[in-house]
Structure 1
Amino acid sequence: MKRLVALALLLLAGLTGAAAAAIETPFFAERVATGKLPAIDQRLPEQPRVLDMQSMGRIPGKPGGTWRMLMGDQRDLRMVTLYSYARLVVFDEKLQLVPDILESFEDQDDKVFTFHLRKGHKWSDGQPFTAEDFRYYWEDVALNPKLSPTGPNVALLANGQKPKFEIIDPETIRFTWDTPNPAFLPSLAASQPVYIFMPAHYLKQFNPRYAGKDDLAKKIKDAHVKDWSALHERMSRQYRPENPELPTLEPWRNTTPPPADFFVFERNPFYHRVDENGRQLPYIDKIAMMLGTTNLIPAKVASGEADLQARYINFEDYTFLKHAEQANNYQVELWQQGYGARAALMPNLNAADPIWRKILRDVRFRRALSLGINRRDINRVLFFGLARESGNTVLPESPLYKQSYADAYTNYDPAEANRLLDLVGLDKRDGEGFRLLPDGRRADIVIETAENDTVDTDILELVGDDFAKLGIRIFNHPSQRDAFRQRIFSGQVIMSMAEGLDNAVPTEKFEPDALAPSAESQFQWSRWGLYFESGGSQGEAVDMPEPQHLLDLLHDWRHSTSDAQRKTIWDEMLSINADQVYTIGIVNGTQQPVVVDGNMRNVPKSALFSFEPGSFFGIYMPDTFWYDVKSE
């Protein structure tokens, strides 16, 4: 079956079409007048992406202003890329894939993908964006062992095989596989996308295939890196835009070289989206990102120092933020968080301690801990009863949701929990009534968390009270995020706590990789995930039947040829995860405060706040947000 995203379909969806005559952006007027920039009609592609604001339920805006945001450290530069959400293809608010940077695409049986670029589309420095940028990535990066030592990204492999890459003409490219690759398009639309293009004209100066030997040697020396590949990697980061000289296709481009504690992003003069009136997007001229101590961010937001802020503020800050609404002219909206669990316990099935590893792998132990948590009390005490008591699974907004997944082993039943713990072999207790491991140690559990989140601390305090009734003591050990992850990866951690599924509103078209041991970043089985990611060169091979079956199902999804097949696979994987309780979800559907400046328009009053799909604000198109009164 051939699925063609054609012009007629796009017109019906209100995603492209003929714009009114292009209107020059005031921000660039002086540069155009002095000849530093070409006029607007020469900066736009021949067929820009036209957004009809009114059909989208939004107000056509006017240009100007600065979006102020507060962040924690330099790594948060990636948040602008996330929020911008400019991709080759994107998910719309109905979770349908539509072309964005691409003018159109053709998908033939998930095997042959033909991409049509927008003629006349340019990078932020005014150089053409063409098929050469895809060729450079494929031949000079993905297939270069110095830059990609493990080979092309897994999204570019179908049954382990690389695609055939073709340039049809300067605006048309094609990827062809012999077997289906249904994960390919979603990976391009992801919040952290797979980049299959790079600005070749800029990056060739860092590649010995194109650069002069002496000139490249000087660049390596000046950058204080060991070789050309390290230099190329540093200068080519698109997701975390630390290099102001790197051309971009995003709506805003970084103008500040690190290190710094204040970064300014300016609008991209060659950005490909316009509104129906011919105004080039984004409406907002600049983003000003101030870095600082994260625990001070709620107070700074309350004093009016941010225009649109959700990062580093939590539900516990809601009342405090509401009190200052009128004084500082902002509104606090509540969006639903899109995690499968606001907090989930992650028993480490790859723990290095052999005694604990055996116990953690016993499903009766995991079920006992889940049954021993009084989720209703946690919901009422910490979330005012507004959350859902649930396992770590998809949300009701997903078409894959089933109540049985959410309810599995989530009823509070300490008697059954105690019975299961006895059966596991933890039936001996010390003089204080606490359970003992088979080797005589007390069965205390240290639960590791990333940094010192007060909500996590409060949740664990209540969980600790519940577990004490089962004869198990827990201790919270917060640590810096990198150290936290490293301890899990090394097997030192018995159990951790973190958010649940990143994408809890999937359709069958999304890859179910989060439900199988497929990534080192999965805290319940990171060593197995590393083995899968590295093709068996690192980590540990799966040695349990159910997790192996999940990997087999993931393999089946990657070779599926219909949505019906994919739905069946999703259902089975969700069912296995619910039954085996690999992660112990506590609550989901929690509320995320979103602070919006009183003059900012087109920001939804209620929405889903989720990393996947949609890049938090990204799916709601921040390039269409604007100010009634300019904010500078």
Structure 2
Amino acid sequence: MAFVCVGFSAAMFAGMISAVGPAKAEIPYFEDAVSKGELPPMAARLPEHPNVIDFTAENKEIGKYGGDLVTIMGRSRDIRMAVVYGYARLIGYDENLNLQPDILESLDVNDTGNVFTLHLRKGHKWSDGEPFTAEDFRYFWEDVVNNDELFPVGPPRFLFVGDEPATFEILDEYTVRYSWSKPNPFFVTELAATRPPFIYRPAHYLKQFHAKYRDAAELDAIVKERGLRSWAVLHTDKDRPYRLENVERPSLEPWLIRTEEPSDRFIFERNPYYHRVDPDGNQLPYIDRMIFNISNAKLVPAKVGAGEVDLQSRILSLQDYTFLKQSEPQQNFKVNLWDVGYGAYAALYPNLTCSDPVWRKLLRDVKFRRALSLAINRTEINRVMFFGLAAPTNNTVLPKSPLFKQEYRDSYIEFDVKKANALLDEMGLTKRNGDGIRLMPDGRPLEIIVETMGENPEHDDMLELIGDSWKQIGVKLFVKGLQREVLRNRAYSGETIMSIFNGVDSGLATPGTVPAEFVPIQQDSLQWPKWGQYFQTNGEAGEAPDMPAAKELMDLYGKWANGNDAARKDAWQRILDINAENMFSIGLIGNVPQPVVVRNDLRNVPEKGIHSWEPGAFFGIYRPDTFWWDR
């Protein structure tokens, strides 16, 4: 979303504080610990100025404490969704996708966008009761990302402008500053990201595993006892804020992991020092525990229909809607349909940096990519799989984006077998084998293996339909299911020819959104992973972009990064123009609503919302810490 150069002033926050009433009684979940003196009372656990959630603006009602909330994940590593759903960020998006201070009390950004002053909340504490201060930011900057053993490649890229790293300063115990000589348009949006950068660390906890702060002999004994290679591996093992593998690590999240792997049931319990309160001064979250049950993805719809969850969207698809609606009366839940933020529900990604030279030449010919797109019957996919509720689309920004143009969505998506065949003939692919399959320049049959991540059965169903229509242009399609990590590694190494995955996350992009998914700067972009790797490693790995359109995209990215608001909008539009003209990815279908199953007595969950990874964090911007049970 938009990069907002706004100073969130303490005066603004003071206005919010005045509306907060006296807190109610102690949270029942903690009453016993407070009475025994094991935990301070609520007032002593909160920051001096907690983050007061505006229930009026978000159409919420004051809730009650207590209860568990159960949801299902398809694999144990997806417990990281607790960080996503919890959405505790230094700066975060609200329901209207405006940026607001969250963990921070305020953020000051100068007029030129190169100096950022972060003001912490005085009295804010980690989940173990230790103070959260500027020292936690210093530790991250000096002792983690600028330590060669912990971060051999140095700090994350968003902390650089070009080759210039941030200048980090501590102004006082609760104020830190990051600055560069030129504007950094990435900084604020990165802080608000669905996967947070965690530019702070619990220094008081992690120092015991750091060579700079622990006696060498003691640290070496711990390393040997655990059978690890070095203290750096130990430190990294203890410091996994997103993966949630260390139940002892202090956190600022609303719920804290309390279950160690391996397990098929992970319990998260409320953080006694959480920094948000409701308008009456009651500490959030309302719900005591989040429970993530792990199940085979194929069984999830049936388990949801049997009433085994309280809130579920993950792994569900529109194909499950009819079945789930039939289960509503018996299971005391409602199935809502949310809009999605993906640029397309699914897209094909031809790997322009694949290693096979013959395939590389074919895939880089825009006629080939356009022909493949024209030979996809998207109307059939919509009718057969999505009840006609979806829409054919390219993989681009959504109509709700201020950058949207209809031609971006409609470019080369009509079903036109005659035109597709003509394009392939123009390329010289006129020879066919006995089965009618065209022959590649080296004589091999034109058989495309499309690799999937095996997580969405609908992708396989779409590919079956696409395979039928591609036969009409002499192209044979094979499907190869892989695990996500395996597919990505194959794409990075150039083995993958084509893959299918979700469309771009940034369907709601504004001129201030980083255009990362539309330019070759990310290794994870399956259409040009080696170009992205080259950018991310400063040329030490991967390949430099060598197609004219890709080079222009990189030039435009530089103009976006260094330009003013008008220049950024101009750069974005040209970037989208080039993507639409070149079909670097081939969008299939869009506007596919996301089923969201909500237990009837779970309150403050919106009936309509945007189900989006970035921005949105799925449920995150709707603040699950405000959900409560009306029982």
| TM-score when normalising by structure 2 | 0.97
**Match of 1:613, as an amino acid?**
P
1:303 aligns with one of 285, 306, 311 = 306
Tell me, yes or no, if the aligned pair for 1:159 and 1:179 is still in contact at 8 Å. Answer: no
Q: Please give the alpha-carbon distance, in whole angstroms, between the structure 2 residues aligned to 1:165 and 1:69.
A: 40
Displacement of 1:11 in angstroms is 6.6
Displacement of 1:178 in angstroms is 0.2
Tell me, yes or no, if the aligned pair for 1:158 and 1:179 is still in contact at 8 Å. Answer: yes
Q: 1:203 to 1:564 in 2, by over 3 A?
A: same
2:108 aligns with one of 95, 106, 109 = 106
Tell me, yes or no, if the aligned pair for 1:18 and 1:50 is still in contact at 8 Å. Answer: no
**Match of 1:486, as an amino acid?**
N
- What residue is the counterpart of 1:205 in the other structure? 208
1:331 and 2:326 correspond: no
CA deviation profile, 1:224-273 (whole Å, cap 9, x unmatched): 32111111111111112111111101100111122222211010000000
Q: 1:294 to 1:451 in 2, by over 3 A?
A: same
Residue range with higher mean Cα deviation, 18-27 or 170-179: 18-27
1:393 and 2:396 correspond: yes
Taking the TM superposition and a 5 Å limit, the aligned residue runs for 1:535-614 are 535-560=538-563, 562-614=564-616
CA deviation profile, 1:280-299 (whole Å, cap 9, x unmatched): 10111101111122211111
Displacement of 1:425 in angstroms is 2.0
Tell me, yes or no, if the aligned pair for 1:204 and 1:211 is still in contact at 8 Å. Answer: yes
Q: 1:178 to 1:316 in 2, by over 3 A?
A: same
- What residue is the counterpart of 1:27 in the other structure? 29
Q: Please give the alpha-carbon distance, in whole angstroms, between the structure 2 residues aligned to 1:235 and 1:19.
A: 38
Displacement of 1:469 in angstroms is 0.7
Tell me, yes or no, if the aligned pair for 1:159 and 1:559 is still in contact at 8 Å. Answer: no
**Match of 2:128, as an amino acid?**
D
Tell me, yes or no, if the aligned pair for 1:65 and 1:627 is still in contact at 8 Å. Answer: yes
1:216 and 2:216 correspond: no
**Match of 1:213, as an amino acid?**
A
Displacement of 1:18 in angstroms is 4.8
Q: 1:2 to 1:326 in 2, by over 3 A?
A: closer
Q: Secondary structure at the match of 1:603?
A: coil
Displacement of 1:320 in angstroms is 1.4
- What residue is the counterpart of 1:441 in the other structure? 444
**Structure 1: which 4+ aligned runs deviate by more than 6 Å?**
none
Q: Please give the alpha-carbon distance, in whole angstroms, between the structure 2 residues aligned to 1:257 and 1:18.
A: 41
Residue range with higher mean Cα deviation, 135-144 or 427-436: 427-436
Residue range with higher mean Cα deviation, 296-305 or 577-586: 296-305
CA deviation profile, 1:384-407 (whole Å, cap 9, x unmatched): 111121100011111111111001
Q: Please give the alpha-carbon distance, in whole angstroms, between the structure 2 residues aligned to 1:368 and 1:10.
A: 56
Displacement of 1:8 in angstroms is 4.2
Tell me, yes or no, if the aligned pair for 2:520 and 2:528 is still in contact at 8 Å. Answer: yes
Tell me, yes or no, if the aligned pair for 1:17 and 1:49 is still in contact at 8 Å. Answer: no
Displacement of 1:435 in angstroms is 0.7
1:69 aligns with one of 68, 71, 75 = 71
- What residue is the counterpart of 1:615 in the other structure? 617
Q: Please give the alpha-carbon distance, in whole angstroms, between the structure 1 residues aligned to 2:152 and 2:515.
A: 26
Displacement of 1:22 in angstroms is 2.4
Tell me, yes or no, if the aligned pair for 1:434 and 1:471 is still in contact at 8 Å. Answer: yes
Tell me, yes or no, if the aligned pair for 2:63 and 2:627 is still in contact at 8 Å. Answer: yes
Q: Please give the alpha-carbon distance, in whole angstroms, between the structure 2 residues aligned to 1:304 and 1:218.
A: 49
Tell me, yes or no, if the aligned pair for 1:452 and 1:478 is still in contact at 8 Å. Answer: no
Q: Please give the alpha-carbon distance, in whole angstroms, between the structure 2 residues aligned to 1:605 and 1:349.
A: 41
Taking the TM superposition and a 5 Å limit, the aligned residue runs for 1:136-147 are 136-147=139-150
Taking the TM superposition and a 5 Å limit, the aligned residue runs for 1:35-434 are 35-108=37-110, 109-434=112-437
Q: What is the percent sequence identity of the aligned residues?
A: 49
**Match of 2:23, as an amino acid?**
A
2:520 aligns with one of 514, 517, 522 = 517
Tell me, yes or no, if the aligned pair for 2:6 and 2:107 is still in contact at 8 Å. Answer: no
1:530 and 2:546 correspond: no
Displacement of 1:2 in angstroms is 7.2
CA deviation profile, 1:32-67 (whole Å, cap 9, x unmatched): 111000011110000001113233211111111101
Q: Secondary structure at the match of 1:404?
A: helix
- Aligned-residue RMSD, C-alpha: 1.4
Q: Please give the alpha-carbon distance, in whole angstroms, between the structure 2 residues aligned to 1:229 and 1:301.
A: 42
Q: Please give the alpha-carbon distance, in whole angstroms, between the structure 1 residues aligned to 2:309 and 2:318.
A: 17
**Match of 1:447, as an amino acid?**
V
Q: Please give the alpha-carbon distance, in whole angstroms, between the structure 2 residues aligned to 1:279 and 1:456.
A: 45
CA deviation profile, 1:498-538 (whole Å, cap 9, x unmatched): 11101211111211111111111111111111111111111
Alignment size in residue pairs? 626
| TM-score when normalising by structure 1 | 0.97
Residue range with higher mean Cα deviation, 123-132 or 141-150: 141-150
**Match of 2:550, as an amino acid?**
P
Residue range with higher mean Cα deviation, 546-555 or 102-111: 546-555
Q: Please give the alpha-carbon distance, in whole angstroms, between the structure 2 residues aligned to 1:19 and 1:622.
A: 20
Q: Please give the alpha-carbon distance, in whole angstroms, between the structure 1 residues aligned to 2:526 and 2:132.
A: 39
